[in-house]
Amino acid sequence: MAIVQEPVAEQSIGRTEARYRARTPKSRAAFERNQVAVPGGVPGGLGVMLPYPLYIERAQGRHVWDADGHRLVDLLNGDWVFPLGHGNPKINAAITAQLQKGITFCQPEPDLQYALSQLIQERIPSMERMRFTTSGTEATMMALRVGRAFTGRPKIAKIMGGYHGTHDASVIANGRYTDPTFVPRGLIPGTKESVVLLPYNQPDECERIIRAEAEELGAVIVEPMLGGSGMIPATKEYLERLRRVTSECGVVLIFDEVVTCTLGPHGAQGRMGVIPDLTTMGKALGGGLPLGAFGGRSDIMDLVDSALYPFDRPVRHASTVGGIPICLAAGVAQLEQLTPEVHAHIEALGEQVRSGVGALATRLGVPLQATGLGQFFGLHWTSVPVVDIDTAFTSDSDIIGRIALGLCNEGYLCFYFNVMGVLSLPMTSEDIEGFLQALEATLKENDLC
């Protein structure tokens, strides 16, 4: 029998939630309808909000319109996939043109894969060879497999609170919404034992663990900025130490740049000046269509099976719709438009959010802080500087949720957990001013200042 969540009793809710409920009856109806057949009423866990998700009907530029017809400034941008905003004309034209020619052929298309690989290599030169995938999950799963195959060592190491999608190794201590030590059920036996956990931004402790485990450790995977845990950047010193120790121990270092591949013109690795052995990409790479990539050093990627007979390469990778022409066409149009000027614009907006939140917190005397880099930001309600998953968990998630809901009432759509957001090209300085005013109004409505 389907489990249907009961609505919360109206008298027990605060002003912000009461306003949300009054504004969004069609979202509530959609939730009640959808959750019967779909757990949580949302696709793939995205859009989770309490008391129920906001359902979106359409989007254009920097805006989305919810089921009740409200227009909101969209700081989610499709879960970080639209740095150019929704409905970018050149991406739409590229998709439409490819639609006329054919979505996919099974046989390879001659130009698009080549064009996209060249654009990727201009941005991320360490991607000497690459394979395209359907998702970030597939990309990180494959990169880890390649790392283990190359070294011949069985274990992988990941960061406490690191999110790399939902394959077995990745869901250990992935930090999302829950106690980081929680181990979900249904994993291949031995998964937990084969995953070594590393602390974030603690170079000495990381070095100690990697050296102790080195004989069995095939790969270390790290997000240069913890995304799902709240946009928490790694320090340059930390990444440099990971680079040095993994090189000395013969362990493959993977940067998961599924989110950060559009952080400036050369991803997080270019920004930090630390080059991994393998990189994974996704999210914005496909211009909104499903596309990821994994790649890096030629000698490592040479292990992946090729289309040439005999099929004697040791690592298997196949994907029916991974890197199909329609997604590649959107990806080319996306990367071609992500110029240094575009990056400078969205990064300046990101700085405006972070410094504006800092100034607001000081003026109001509240423990609110903004983390992030470039166009990405996350808000935390704690006076402890947020640098890893443990410090992220000192943030009051109930207050943060109320802030997200309040911002939504005020016309700004953010991620409900950690009030995360990403800026896009069509946004302006006035949008950020409006966001900061909405934030202040929400704090006042909730008697938080």
Ligand X SMILES: Cc1ncc(COP(=O)(O)O)c(C=O)c1O
Identify the burial level of 266 via C-beta atoms within 10 angstroms of its C-beta, where 0-12 means exposed, 13-18 middle and 19 or more buried: middle
If one asks whether residue 295 binds ligand X (CB under 6 A), the answer comes out as no
Q: Which stretch binds ligand X (CB under 6 A): 135-143, 150-158, 293-301, 420-428?
A: 135-143
In this structure, the number of other CB atoms found within 10 A of the CB of residue 213 comes to 17
Residue least distant from ligand X (Cβ):
136
Token pair belonging to 28: 């509530």
> How would you list the strands of the sheet with 129-133, edge to edge?
129-133, 292-296, 278-281, 252-256, 217-222, 155-159, 195-198
Pick from 117, 140, 194, 352 the residue near ligand X by CB under 6 A: 140
Question: Helix, strand or coil for residue 389?
Answer: helix
CB of 427 closer than 8 Å to CB of 62: yes
Element (H, E) at 210: helix 203-213
Find the DSSP H helices in 49-156. Answer: 77-80, 89-101, 112-123, 136-151
Q: Which stretch binds ligand X (CB under 6 A): 159-167, 206-214, 244-252, 329-337?
A: 159-167
Pick the closer one to ligand X by CB: 66 or 223.
Answer: 223
Pick from 218, 228, 264, 286 the residue near ligand X by CB under 6 A: 228
How far apart CA 204 and CA 245 sit, in angstroms, is 10
Pick the closer one to ligand X by CB: 282 or 426.
Answer: 282
Given the structure tokens 């979106």, which residue do they identify?
56
If one asks whether residue 414 binds ligand X (CB under 6 A), the answer comes out as no
Who contacts 188 (Cβ-Cβ below 8 Å, separation ≥6)?
168
Pick the closer one to ligand X by CB: 126 or 135.
Answer: 135
How far apart CA 265 and CA 216 sit, in angstroms, is 36
Closest separation in Å from C-beta 135 to ligand X: 4
How far apart CA 14 and CA 409 sit, in angstroms, is 13
> How would you list the strands of the sheet with 421-422, edge to edge?
368-371, 376-381, 421-422
Pick from 180, 230, 264, 282 the residue near ligand X by CB under 6 A: 282
DSSP state of 321: T
CA atoms within 13 A on the CB side of 34: 18
How far apart CA 67 and CA 252 sit, in angstroms, is 47
DSSP state of 13: S
If one asks whether residue 163 binds ligand X (CB under 6 A), the answer comes out as yes
Closest separation in Å from C-beta 170 to ligand X: 7
If phi > 0 it is left, if psi is from -120 to 50 it is alpha, else beta; for residue 259 that is: alpha
Pick from 28, 123, 164, 297 the residue near ligand X by CB under 6 A: 164
If one asks whether residue 136 binds ligand X (CB under 6 A), the answer comes out as yes
Q: How many residues bind ligand X (CB under 6 A)?
A: 15
Pick the closer one to ligand X by CB: 24 or 375.
Answer: 375
Element (H, E) at 355: helix 340-364
Output the CA angle 165-169-170, nearest 5 degrees.
25
Pick the closer one to ligand X by CB: 45 or 102.
Answer: 45
Q: Which stretch binds ligand X (CB under 6 A): 50-58, 147-155, 162-170, 353-361?
A: 162-170
DSSP state of 313: -
If one asks whether residue 270 binds ligand X (CB under 6 A), the answer comes out as no
Pick the closer one to ligand X by CB: 280 or 442.
Answer: 280
The site map against ligand X for 92-131 (x = CB under 6 A) is ----------------------------------------
How far apart CA 122 and CA 100 sit, in angstroms, is 29
If one asks whether residue 418 binds ligand X (CB under 6 A), the answer comes out as no
Pick the closer one to ligand X by CB: 269 or 352.
Answer: 269
Pick the closer one to ligand X by CB: 132 or 163.
Answer: 163
Using CB under 6 A as the binding rule, the residues of this chain from 239 to 268 that contact ligand X are 256, 258-259
**Comparing C-alpha atoms, which of 411, 430, 418, 442 is closest to residue 74?**
411
Q: Which stretch binds ligand X (CB under 6 A): 163-171, 326-334, 385-393, 406-414?
A: 163-171
Pick from 83, 199, 224, 227 the residue near ligand X by CB under 6 A: 227
If one asks whether residue 421 binds ligand X (CB under 6 A), the answer comes out as no
Pick the closer one to ligand X by CB: 319 or 437.
Answer: 319
Using CB under 6 A as the binding rule, the residues of this chain from 33 to 92 that contact ligand X are none
If one asks whether residue 137 binds ligand X (CB under 6 A), the answer comes out as yes
Q: Which stretch binds ligand X (CB under 6 A): 9-17, 158-166, 183-191, 388-396?
A: 158-166
In this structure, the number of other CB atoms found within 10 A of the CB of residue 22 comes to 9
If one asks whether residue 223 binds ligand X (CB under 6 A), the answer comes out as yes
Site residues (vs ligand X, CB under 6 A) = 135-137, 140, 163-165, 223, 227-228, 256, 258-259, 282, 292
